[in-house]
């Protein structure tokens, strides 16, 4: 079954190459893109089944034994995130097909599909990478393709936001390379499985310094406060469907990298209390920021920042319960954050607005879109019985059960963050859906960009994601069980080490 391991990375790259060749044939692109994305979903689902049956899978590319060669690894955590992420990527691509990939109806640029599939490959490689250097390569693949996607149909604002995004990302990449070099100098390897054994022999101060360096690197990419200022200024400038991809997956890829590196290489490091403090500050700053903005996309962006803190909180506990909560929250947030932005895209298509002071009467204009927004809004707020409630309950239980006074305080902050998120969502609902449309806003413009069939496809895709979010709550038992086993594997690193190093020895 090891032949399956590279497929989530290889398939979208092949699809991107074919899409580039067919970039002038719009009909071909609209078929080829979703087919390649569907192939990634199928390969990821097969990997979930293979991991459930055989445990951790590892492949040494080119037959070079670890730690010399390129190692690709799939365990319970990466298999779960691969299937969830690839399914969301497929859904957003179908939404883009309905809208017109460039946001200009029939004048979509052929570069969208190759760039999108390359981004898909980068996201999948993050989850597959078994060494720090290829993890760096994965983030660079995402950076290159995401800049192209961010500046589609360029405007002054998008180019400026793209430059901000690129400069910040390149800064974190330089820090990443520096951290990688220091790690190699200290331990003599960048293979994660071998590092997990050698890091224990490093001096405590060196280990702590490296752990903090990687926390800064991935903290920039994951928008952890105070390294978050670039995100609310960058993401809202892109086309809404592109922002949906970024919000759902790019920050979560960084959170995954933090979880993988900090548990596998620096378990129970002295940086734990730093993570708890950062988690609390991130939750408060992000959710308070969401209450201060008028544009829906900026509200969602600040909520995204705030909720990164919940995942960091679960990691900072460094036990099975906390990591289980963090994994559940990752799955929940990937689905719900994408749904919120796609629902916002429907609102924008219906009214031509994302500003709350110009929105109103949406419930009367389209009750269906109102439902598509309301369900994920309640989920991200943690209202029972949604997936957000399930994930937050797991984190709260882990925090209370940790016996750590600082963790108790962060649990209280997390509860407050949920209340603030609910206030932000209620504000959008009240101003955008319940109140009449302000007279100065005029009548909603008639959209000429989308065909009726395209609108139906966009609504259907968003509805499917809403249902998927509800299914996350409905299957909370099996999902929590899988997440608990994944968390146990993160705490007990032997299975990962043996799969990689034994495969390299064969």
How many domains is the chain partitioned into structurally?
A: 1
**Closest of 20, 251, 265, 12 to residue 125, by C-alpha:** 12
Q: What percent of the chain has pLDDT over 90?
A: 59
For residue 319, what is the enclosing H or E element? none
* Residues 264 and 176: beta-carbon distance below 8 Å: no
pLDDT of residue 442: 58
Range of the domain at 9: 2-505
Asked whether the predicted pLDDT for residue 235 surpasses 90, the reply is: no
Tokens representing 326 are: 């963090």
Q: How far apart are CA 465 and CA 87, in angstroms?
A: 9
* Cα distances (angstroms) measured from residue 127 to each of 170, 262, 396, 503: 21, 15, 26, 18
Check pLDDT > 80 for residue 163. Answer: yes
How far is the C-alpha of 36 from the C-alpha of 13, rounded, in Å?
Answer: 9
So what's the pLDDT on residue 499? 87
Tokens of 204: 């405590």
* Res. 444 pLDDT band, cuts 50 70 90: low
Label residue 447 by pLDDT band (50, 70, 90).
low
Tell me how far apart the alpha carbons of residues 160 and 261 are, in angstroms, rounded to a whole number: 32
- pTM for the model: 0.93
Segment 310-316 mean pLDDT: 94
340-351 b/e (C-beta count within 10 Å ≥ 16 → b)? bbbbbbbbbbbb
Lowest-confidence region among 32-41, 72-81, 399-408: 399-408
Phi-psi region of 360 (alpha: psi -120 to 50; beta: other; left: phi over 0): left
pLDDT digits over 406-423, tens only? 999 999 999 999 999 999
The neighbouring-strand residues paired with 74 are 57
Separation CA 63–CA 60 (nearest Å): 5
Across 56-73, average pLDDT: 82
Q: What is the mean pLDDT of residues 187-212?
A: 88
Q: Averaged over 132-160, what is the pLDDT? A: 88
Query: Can you name the residues that pair with 191 across neighbouring β-strands?
Result: 131
Cα-to-chain-centroid distance, residue 134: 19
Whether the per-residue pLDDT at 269 is higher than 80: the answer is no
């Amino acid at each position: 079954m090891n032949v399956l391991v590279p497929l989530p990375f290889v398939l979208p790259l092949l699809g991107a190459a074919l899409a580039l060749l067919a970039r002038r044939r719009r009909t071909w692109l609209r078929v080829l893109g979703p087919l390649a994305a569907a192939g990634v979903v199928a390969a990821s689902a097969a990997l979930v089944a293979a991991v459930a049956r055989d445990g951790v899978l590892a492949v040494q590319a080119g037959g070079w034994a670890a730690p010399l060669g390129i190692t690709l690894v799939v365990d319970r955590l990466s298999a779960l995130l691969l299937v969830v992420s690839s399914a969301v990527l497929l859904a957003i691509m179908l939404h883009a097909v309905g809208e017109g990939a460039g946001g200009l109806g029939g004048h979509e640029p052929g570069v969208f599909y190759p760039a999108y599939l390359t981004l898909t490959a980068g996201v999948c490689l993050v989850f597959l990478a078994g060494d720090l250097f290829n993890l760096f390569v994965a983030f660079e693949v995402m950076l290159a393709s995401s800049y192209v996607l961010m500046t589609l149909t360029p405007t002054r604002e998008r180019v400026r936001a793209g430059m901000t995004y690129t400069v910040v990302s390149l800064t974190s990449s330089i820090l990443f390379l520096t951290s990688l070099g220091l790690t190699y100098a200290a331990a003599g390897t960048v293979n994660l499985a071998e590092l997990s054994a050698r890091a224990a022999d490093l001096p405590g101060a060196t280990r702590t310094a490296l752990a903090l360096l990687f926390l800064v690197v991935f903290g920039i990419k994951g928008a952890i406060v105070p390294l978050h200022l670039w995100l609310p200024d960058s993401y809202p400038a892109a086309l809404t469907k592109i922002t949906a991809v970024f919000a759902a997956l790019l920050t979560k890829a960084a959170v995954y990298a933090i979880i993988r590196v900090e548990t596998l290489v620096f378990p129970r490091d002295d940086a734990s209390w730093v993570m708890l403090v950062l988690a609390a500050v991130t939750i408060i700053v992000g959710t308070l920021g969401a209450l201060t903005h008028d544009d829906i996309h900026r509200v969602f962006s600040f909520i995204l920042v705030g909720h990164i803190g919940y995942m960091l909180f679960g990691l900072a506990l460094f036990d099975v319960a906390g990591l289980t909560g963090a994994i559940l929250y990752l799955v929940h947030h990937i689905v719900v954050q994408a749904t919120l932005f796609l629902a916002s895209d429907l609102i924008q298509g219906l009214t031509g607005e994302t500003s709350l002071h110009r929105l109103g009467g949406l419930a009367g204009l389209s009750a269906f879109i109102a439902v598509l927004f309301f369900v994920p809004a309640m989920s991200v707020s943690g209202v029972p019985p949604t997936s957000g409630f399930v994930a937050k309950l797991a984190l709260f239980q882990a925090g209370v059960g940790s016996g750590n006074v600082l963790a108790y305080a962060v649990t209280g902050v997390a509860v407050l963050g949920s209340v603030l998120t609910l206030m932000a969502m209620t504000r959008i609902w009240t101003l955008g859906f319940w109140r009449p449309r302000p007279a100065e806003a005029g009548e909603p413009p008639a959209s000429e960009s989308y065909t009726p069939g395209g609108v139906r496809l966009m609504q259907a895709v968003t509805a499917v994601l809403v249902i998927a979010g509800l299914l996350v709550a409905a299957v909370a038992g099996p999902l929590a069980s899988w997440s608990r086993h994944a968390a146990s594997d993160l705490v007990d690193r032997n299975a990962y080490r043996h799969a990689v190093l034994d495969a390299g020895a064969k």
